[in-house]
C-alpha cells in the first residue's frame, strides 16, 4: 500500500467527545460539592447575638466559582445545598433539613449558588482578558462577600427577628474572616488558572 492510499485515522466525532466532557463536568461538580461539605464541617467560631458560626464553607463556595467557572461552580454549590436540605448533615455544626430555612443562616445558605455564579463569571472574564488574578479578586469580593451578604443580611433579620440595620452591624463581625477567605481563595485558584487555563474559561 502506497502512502497516498494509506488510510488516515478518523478523528472521533464531536458527539462522542461530549459524553466524556459531560461526565468530567459531573465529576468536578461532585468533587467540589464534597469539598464544600468538608469545609463546612470544620469547627466554627460562633459570634454575635445569634451565635452564627464563622466557618470555611464560604471559602469552598468561592473556590467552586473561581476554579470551575460560573455554571459548574453554581451547580456544585447547588448540589451542596440540596444535599443538606435533603437531610444530610453537611451544613455548619452538622445542621441539615428544611428546618434551617427558618433560622438566621437561611439567607447565607440560599446565596451560595448565586455567589458561585458571580465568582465564576468574573474569574472567567479575568482569564479571557489575561487578568486572571484581578478577576479572582473581583469575583471573590463581589460574589463571595457581596452576594452572600446581600442574601444573608435580610435572612438574618427575618430569621433572627431583627431590623436590617442591626443585622448588617452583626454581619460586620464576619467581614475580617471573609476577607481572609478571599485571600486564600485567590492563592489557591491562581496557580490552578496558570496550570489549567481552560478549566475556568469553559
User: What cell numbers appear for 35 in the block?
Assistant: 469539598
| pLDDT (tens digit per residue) in 125-160 | 988 888 889 999 999 999 999 999 999 999 999 988
Structural domain boundaries, residue 163: 23-201
pLDDT of 172 = 86
Mean pLDDT in residue range 80-107? 92
CATH number at residue 182: 1.10.1760.20
Give bridge partners of residue 46 from the DSSP assignment.
53
DSSP state of 15: H
pLDDT band of residue 50 (cuts 50, 70, 90) is low
Polymer length of the chain: 202
4, part of any domain: no
125, part of any domain: yes
Span of 9-13, 51-55, 73-77, 128-132 with lowest mean pLDDT = 9-13
10, part of any domain: no
Choice between 22 and 190, residue whose per-residue pLDDT is larger: 190
pLDDT of 121 = 95
Asked whether the whole model's pTM tops 0.75, one would answer yes
Closest to 123 (Cα-Cα) out of 111, 114, 132, 115: 132
144, part of any domain: yes
pLDDT of 14 = 47
Q: Across the chain, what does the average pLDDT equal? A: 86
Closest to 182 (Cα-Cα) out of 65, 18, 35, 19: 65
* Cβ neighbours around 50 below 10 Å, total: 16
Span of 15-24, 132-141, 181-190, 193-202 with lowest mean pLDDT = 15-24
CA distance 1 to 6: 6
33, part of any domain: yes
- pLDDT for residue 9 is more than 60: no
The secondary structure of 29-74 as a DSSP string is: HHHHHHHHHHHHTSPPEEETTTTEEE-SHHHHHHHHHHHH-HHHHH
Domain count of the fold of the chain: 1
80, part of any domain: yes
pLDDT band of residue 53 (cuts 50, 70, 90) is low
Amino acid at each position: 500500500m502506497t502512502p497516498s492510499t494509506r488510510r488516515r485515522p478518523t478523528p472521533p466525532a464531536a458527539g462522542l467527545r461530549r459524553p466524556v466532557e459531560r461526565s468530567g463536568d459531573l465529576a468536578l461538580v461532585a468533587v467540589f460539592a464534597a469539598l464544600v461539605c468538608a469545609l463546612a464541617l470544620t469547627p466554627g467560631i460562633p459570634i454575635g447575638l445569634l451565635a452564627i458560626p464563622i466557618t470555611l464553607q464560604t471559602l469552598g463556595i468561592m473556590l467552586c466559582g473561581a476554579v470551575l467557572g460560573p455554571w459548574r461552580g453554581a451547580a456544585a454549590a447547588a448540589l451542596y445545598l440540596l444535599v443538606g436540605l435533603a437531610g444530610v448533615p453537611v451544613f455548619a455544626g452538622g445542621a441539615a433539613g428544611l428546618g434551617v430555612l427558618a433560622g438566621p443562616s437561611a439567607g447565607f445558605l440560599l446565596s451560595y449558588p448565586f455567589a458561585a455564579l458571580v465568582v465564576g463569571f468574573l474569574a472567567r472574564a479575568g482569564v479571557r482578558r489575561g487578568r486572571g488574578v484581578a478577576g479572582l479578586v473581583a469575583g471573590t469580593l463581589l460574589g463571595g462577600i457581596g452576594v452572600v451578604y446581600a442574601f444573608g443580611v435580610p435572612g438574618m433579620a427575618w430569621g433572627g427577628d431583627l431590623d436590617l440595620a442591626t443585622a448588617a452591624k452583626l454581619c460586620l463581625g464576619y467581614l475580617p474572616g471573609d476577607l481572609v477567605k478571599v485571600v486564600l481563595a485567590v492563592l489557591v485558584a491562581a496557580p490552578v488558572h496558570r496550570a489549567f487555563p481552560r478549566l475556568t474559561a469553559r
